[in-house]
Homo-oligomer: A and B are copies of this chain.
Amino acid sequence: MQQPRRNTWQREAVRAALVQTPGFVSAQQLHQVLRDAGTTIGLATVYRALAGLSETEEVDSLQSPDGENLFRFCAMPGHHHHLICRACGDTRELSATVVEEWTRRVGAEHGFSDIEHVVDLFGICERCRATA
């Protein structure tokens, strides 16, 4: 998908909602939030907006352990990874030089090219551990 040519309040609303959300959220959740806020935005539009923002790397996306795609507005520029609380969604951004290097090395050793890597950490944060 090439970048949008026209600006719409819908796309801006999605971006704004993401900025206000601390952790990763699904498209469905975001749609609900926007509807509750009184907008008439459509679900398909939320999906389209997120796909666009993902491609320009304005937001990060990942698959939750149960297969749902989650999104988050990202402050840290460039490639990085995440440590996510399974309970509250709180997220820490990680730069992972060690892992990047390991990836490159392993790929080369096996003669693989165009390596992509999926590296995500899920756990329980301090606060949620206390609450339990």
Contact = CB atoms under 8 A, between A and B. Distances in A.
A94 B106 contact: yes
- The count of identical subunits is 2
| Chain A interface size range | 20 to 34
A122 B126 contact: no
Contacts of A120: 117-118
Contacts of A110: 83, 92, 125
Interface of A: 63, 65, 67, 69, 83, 85-86, 92, 94, 96, 98-99, 102-103, 106-107, 110-126, 129
A85 B111 CA distance: 11
Contacts of A111: 125-126
Of A112, A120, A125, A129, most B-chain CB atoms within 10 Å: A112
